Amino acid sequence: MATERSLGALLRSLQIPPHEQDGLSLLPTATSLLAVLKNPLNITLLASQLLAAPAIWDQPVDLHVCRRIISVFNTAAMAILQSEESEDPRIPWGGPGPRKLDREQWVKAVVGGADEKSPRWRHLLLIGGVLLGFEGQDRQGLSWSVRRKLESALVTAAQLALDELDPRDGIDGHCIIMVLNYSFQLLSDGERERLDYDRLLPVMVQTTYFSPEGFESAYFLGSVDQDIVQTPSKRFAWPSQSATVQRITAIASSPLVSALGPLSRLIAHAVENSRDPRLVAQSVDRIADFVRTLIVQWRQNKLSEVDKAEEQEFLDAESLRDTIPNLWKLLRNCLYSVVIILRAVLGRVVNDRALASDKSAPFISMQTLHILRNLYFISSRVGQNSSSQHTFVTLAAVDILAQYPELTENFLTSIKPSELGQIPAHPLDRCLDLYFLNTSELFTTVISPKFSEDVLIQAALPYLPAGGNNHLLEIFEAAHSLVLAVFAIPNNAAVAAKHLPFYIDNLFAVFPNNLSGRQFRLAFKTVLQVTAPPSPIANRQPLLPSILLEVLYDRAYNSASKTPLPPSSQAPSASTSDPEMAKAAQIPLSEQAFLVLALIDSLCFLRVEDLEEWLPLTANLINAVSPSEMRKVCVGRFWDALSNGEMDVERAHYCVTWWSTKGGREMIILGSENASAQGDEVQGAYMSGAIGAVASESKL
């Protein structure tokens, strides 16, 4: 009788208007009663009232309220499971009072509360809560038949709720997405196929990125600026007590954003299974609108004015430790969410005939790259290569767009720096320049030489000598990489011949102060490869490789420093399993040693007749390196270049001849002067080994 009295009091309280009674405070009592009631009619009545009670629903409702309703049914279902597991099997059923309901009867009674007194979208809260309570976290609390009925009921309720959806961005659509996100992993493949993804996809994108329950159209980012203050130490601070910090925390803890990973995969699944290809393209457009607003809002934020390398100098230590990391975590989650969806979009483009057409594929790819560009201020911090999905999206979009050279040039024109030939002052503009340089490098094989010269080279020129600036180091490396990529394209021979003198002058000017030894070696080797046969430049200027090597030789022999460079200029060497090579990589090298190594790296591109001249000169230069530890590194690299397969057959044959019969071994091992003295004593070309004995016999 006490249970019935409690039920009656609860039901009366649920009918009281919300301004007189806090309906949410009644939910713990409702949860307890659902788990202990024995009369199925009472259970059905209580479940029905929880979905229609004025004390709960006659007020503004958000997803936090909906999640608490789910929790009522979820917790009650878990309590039923626990009570059955804790029962003493020796005590028989029966005794005074109604017989306790079994699980199937209890589920049937609760689901009976999803009636016409409440709208369809609230039925999802009940059914989803029961399913999660019994089957969530691999509990397997229901029989196969009952679980299938619950799954079917959930999908049916979702379909009907979508049909009744308020065209305004209301709580009903948000609730449908939240429940499906929580329970989607519990649905069988057959039930998943029943969902109408054409209806779901627009609702999910709208709810996730534009609704107050999601990312709020990214306007939260610009509002942060109002709470950025300047401290007495002339630093920017974002106090943890500010309203915008609380807003960021609320967004991150909202029912949708806190489960953003599964939600993003659900949206990606909808993209893959939508029957209307136009909805996929429209979803990309909507996401593009969102990220466009995101980057505009970021520019309006004072935090965007601080370069990453300057944060310790211009930002408050407490903010760097407490509040700002939470903002970047939210932005990083937003980035990963968009990338997951774009991966599904490009997978659909590859496999869908309609989306793969010339009218759709290149434009979706361009839109994708625009989205990645607007998110680059986030991805440049976390690292583009940190996510395999991000790499796939980038390369897939590039591969698709590269099939359309004219559209490719139009795209690159649309994202090129606003003022070519100048380094912008704002960190965000420099970040976008970095994206342009990195992305353009992927298209160098398909764009015209004129475009490469007028746009790509001009965009890279201001950054080429900027290696000494820590703010520009990454852009500096990207600019060099882009220029070398342009030079390496055979069709760009005229462009390379025109700009190579300037580039070589700049290369020697920035090394070693502003360019690491590894980067210098790579750049010089690439230049030699571009100018050596069979490149078109070699046909027009066959002496250019030798001229470049002469410049390198002269600097290494006459003016290069022999003092070990600092670690920042050494740059990490590639890992190797060879202990000797690994040991050599740990030896600090001088400017002279790096120049010698660059010369050795370039030998594999020279013609045989040029090798005849440059092998002795290289040996002479190696012997000029000091101290002996650095010389040993150069000797090891020289031997490696001759013997590890870098040379083709003809070059390798000459190298063997030079080493064995032309005094090469003696020049390297004994030194140039000793080798020359021995050569004066021993005239003629003899096979190495017993040369002295042969000479003695000839004199006799």
**pLDDT tens track for 512-565:** 888 888 889 999 998 998 888 888 888 878 888 888 999 999 999 988 999 988
CA-closest candidate to residue 406, choices 439, 349, 462, 363: 363
Whether 154 and 184 have beta carbons less than 8 Å apart is answered as: no
Does residue 677 register a pLDDT over 70?
no
pLDDT at 628: 87
| Residue found by looking up tokens 């005094």 in the block | 663
Confidence of residue 698 (pLDDT cuts 50, 70, 90): very low
If you average pLDDT over residues 485-489, what whole number do you get?
91
Does residue 239 register a pLDDT over 60?
yes
Whether 377 and 295 have beta carbons less than 8 Å apart is answered as: yes
d(CA 119, CA 112): 14
Does residue 618 register a pLDDT over 90?
yes
- What size, in residues, is the chain? 700
pLDDT at 690: 45
pLDDT at 680: 43
pLDDT at 85: 67
Looking at every residue in the chain, the average pLDDT score rounds to 88
Does residue 5 register a pLDDT over 80?
yes
- Tens of pLDDT along 388-441? 999 999 999 999 999 999 999 999 999 999 888 899 999 999 999 999 999 999
Give me the sign of the Cα torsion angle 137, 138, 143, 148. Answer: positive
d(CA 564, CA 398): 42
If you average pLDDT over residues 574-578, what whole number do you get?
43
pLDDT at 211: 94
Whether 548 and 531 have beta carbons less than 8 Å apart is answered as: yes
Give the DSSP per-residue string, 610-633.
Answer: HHHHHHHHHHHHHHT--SHHHHHH
d(CA 249, CA 418): 36
Q: What is the pTM of this model?
A: 0.87
Instruction: Give the number of C-alpha atoms closer than 13 A to the C-alpha of residue 460, restricted to the C-beta side.
Output: 29
pLDDT at 676: 46
* 3-state secondary structure string across 420-473: CCCCCCCHHHHHHHHHHHHHHHCCCCCCCHHHHHHHHHHHHHHHCCCCCCHHHH
If you average pLDDT over residues 52-76, what whole number do you get?
94
Q: What angle do CA 689, 693, 697 make, to 5 degrees?
A: 140
Burial of 36 (0-12, 13-18, 19+ CB in 10 A): middle
- Tens of pLDDT along 138-160? 888 889 999 999 999 999 999 99
d(CA 246, CA 221): 13
pLDDT at 700: 31
Question: CA–CA distance from 664 to each of 467, 612, 695 (Å)?
Answer: 38, 11, 19
pLDDT at 101: 80
d(CA 247, CA 151): 36
- Tens of pLDDT along 18-28? 776 788 899 99
pLDDT at 579: 47
Q: To which H or E segment does residue 641 belong?
A: helix 628-643
Confidence of residue 92 (pLDDT cuts 50, 70, 90): very low
Q: Which residue has the higher pLDDT, 386 or 215?
A: 215
How far from the centroid of its chain's Cα atoms is residue 493's Cα? Answer: 34
For 274-288, 364-378, 552-566, which range has the lowest pLDDT when averaged over its residues?
Answer: 552-566
Confidence of residue 91 (pLDDT cuts 50, 70, 90): very low
Confidence of residue 355 (pLDDT cuts 50, 70, 90): very high
pLDDT at 569: 56
Percent of the chain at pLDDT > 90 equals 65
Per-residue burial over 217-247, b = 16 or more CB atoms within 10 Å of its CB, e = otherwise: bbebbbbbbebbeeeeeebbbbbeebebbee
Confidence of residue 568 (pLDDT cuts 50, 70, 90): low
